[in-house]
Structure 1
Amino acid sequence: MRRTAFFVSDGTAITAETFGHSLLTQFNKVDFREIRLPFVDTEAKAHDAVSLINKAAEAGEDKPLVFSTIVNHKVGRVLTNANAHIFDMFATFMEPLERVLGIESSPRIGRAHGMGDSDTYEDRMEATNYALTHDDGISKRLDKADVILVGVSRSGKTPTCLYLALHYGIKAANYPLTEEDLEQPRLPAFLREHKAKLFGLTIDPERLCKIRETRRPGSRYASVKQCRYEVDAAESLLRAEGVPMLSSTGSSVEELASRIILHLGLQKDAS
């Protein structure tokens, strides 16, 4: 079964896509073709969006699904002319929320992902710079780190660190365990000094092999045997040191970041 899903907004469409995609993942028997239509902020653009949606309806056997977070009522009204099933996320929740709060909303495009709080923005930029300068063990001065991710090369440490920085302002460093490290009975001393900040990332060896193969095809580094050795040795070392760990196999960066924050008590404001 195949269906087309549109995420439409007069802003970036990030909210519509995130929420809509979360709903669609609950229907694993359907193959969804997902299309994002951001910045539909005029009636003319809304008519263009309707044309695209209608073309998809004509090409498919079923009506497309449209997840909308359009704030402007006039623009949103145009969208209802599409030959599709419309899920207006703001309309669903806004009226009940106004009743509960006892006040009317003050619609403004882009407010959900704005950078109005300059302190929050600066925190995230500083954390991002920190993640970049403390990536892959570049710096062993980790006093200012909020969290230090440890694991074998290509286990997902760098993207997770950057996500923690950009979305939460968390200063995340990471260190790749080398063969030399894995042959030792203990983690390097400079890591043990910050044991409360350590968190391990592991990965399925076969998945690791595929990732490494794209980087260094045919190398010992990418062989299944080497990947199995490194993953097994890293997991044993982290368990012996009492370092909590998660597998990045099949987990999104968002999920990994959320679980790390929860486990280490690093809750900060999200974007």
Structure 2
Amino acid sequence: MTDTCPVAFFLSDSTGITAETLGTTLITQFPDQRFERHTVPFIVTVERARQVAARIDAVAATGRMPVVFSTVVDPDIRDVLAGSQGFFVDLFGTHLPQLETALHATASLQPGRAHGLGDAIRYQTRMAAVEYAMEHDDGQSIRALERADLILIAPSRCGKTPTSMYLALQHGIRVANFPLVDEDFEHRSLPAPIASHSKKCFGLTSQPLRLSQVRQERRPGTVYSSLAQCSWELRNAEEMYALNGIPHVNSASMSVEEISATILERMELDGTGHEEAGGHR
């Protein structure tokens, strides 16, 4: 980073995940600007807020622009932060009064509701989904497949594991994932353990060159990582998906978040570990 680039502060009275996510969404609309980034979580006292405000003021004193994204809900703490020399973007306070008016209700102003233990049932659902995804990663277990909300299938290194873990941690989806191997491609059939669960299956593909590059990092100079092998596997995977009616997406140029959102929509999962009303498995 240069000494003149703007500085983005993501401030929160909890983990900072929401402030960073929303703030990042905004600054990505300015691709020509390279931001130095600082996330400051757990600002729960006025004294701590004063320390953070002083830190922001120190940056402003250098002539650089501090852009401050805040999800702090306590009005006293928020006022201290807003009084700093940064450009203050109040991600909660701006909209909460409007929402209170619309709902004819008063906001609780409790910090940490989005990423804390406030919703105990949802938290437990997500943790159980993570445990399920870990047990059922890469075909390691076929126990309790009937409890899966989703079964991801793909050739090796197409993104099954990170997608499974993201869906579990962020959305509480119980995901099993299975690698497709040469035997599956030759028979154009789903792996035997999941054949009876085809309605839960979703496939991933990639671009041959991209897949070869990823595999070269794992096993350089092998048939497994060769462009020819990757092309053959991806071609056969797509034919298998078509023959078995398996929806799929090419993951080569998509983020885990984009892949997950696509899966949730196409499989009609509501993001809480259950299908939407009228949906299917």
Distance change (3 Å), C-alpha of 1:85 and 1:117 = closer
CA apart distance, 1:58: 4.4
Task: Name the TM-score, length of structure 2 as normaliser.
Answer: 0.86
What is the identity, as a one-letter code, of the residue corresponding to 1:73? P
Looking at structure 1, the residues matched to 53 and 262 of structure 2 have their Cα atoms a distance apart, in angstroms, of 39
Secondary structure of the corresponding residue to residue 178 of structure 2: strand
Aligned pairs (5 A) from 1:18-167 = 18-59=21-62, 62-141=64-143, 142-167=145-170
Aligned to 2:218: 215
Aligned to 2:279: none
Unaligned runs of 5+ in 1: none
Looking at structure 1, the residues matched to 99 and 176 of structure 2 have their Cα atoms a distance apart, in angstroms, of 40
Looking at structure 1, the residues matched to 257 and 238 of structure 2 have their Cα atoms a distance apart, in angstroms, of 22
Secondary structure of the corresponding residue to residue 149 of structure 1: strand
Secondary structure of the corresponding residue to residue 113 of structure 1: coil
Task: Name the TM-score, length of structure 1 as normaliser.
Answer: 0.89
Aligned to 1:258: 261
What is the identity, as a one-letter code, of the residue corresponding to 2:166? Y
CA apart distance, 1:198: 0.6
Per mean C-alpha deviation after superposition, the further-off stretch among 11-20 and 216-225 is 216-225
Distance change (3 Å), C-alpha of 1:55 and 1:251 = farther
- String of CA shifts for 1:192-232, please: whole Å, max 9, x gaps: 31111110011222322332233223333233333223222
Matched, 1:172 2:171: no
CA apart distance, 1:176: 0.6
Aligned to 2:277: none
Secondary structure of the corresponding residue to residue 85 of structure 2: coil
Secondary structure of the corresponding residue to residue 150 of structure 1: strand
Q: CA RMSD for the aligned pairs?
A: 2.2
What is the identity, as a one-letter code, of the residue corresponding to 2:205? T
Looking at structure 2, the residues matched to 208 and 190 of structure 1 have their Cα atoms a distance apart, in angstroms, of 26
Distance change (3 Å), C-alpha of 1:3 and 1:223 = farther
8 Å contact kept, 2:16–2:41: yes
Distance change (3 Å), C-alpha of 1:47 and 1:269 = same
CA apart distance, 1:167: 2.4
Unaligned runs of 5+ in 2: 274-281
Matched, 1:241 2:206: no
Looking at structure 2, the residues matched to 85 and 154 of structure 1 have their Cα atoms a distance apart, in angstroms, of 43
Identity of aligned residues (%): 43
What is the identity, as a one-letter code, of the residue corresponding to 2:45? T
Q: How many residues align?
A: 269
What is the identity, as a one-letter code, of the residue corresponding to 1:221? Y
CA apart distance, 1:261: 1.6
Aligned to 1:9: 12
Looking at structure 2, the residues matched to 232 and 32 of structure 1 have their Cα atoms a distance apart, in angstroms, of 41
What is the identity, as a one-letter code, of the residue corresponding to 1:258? A
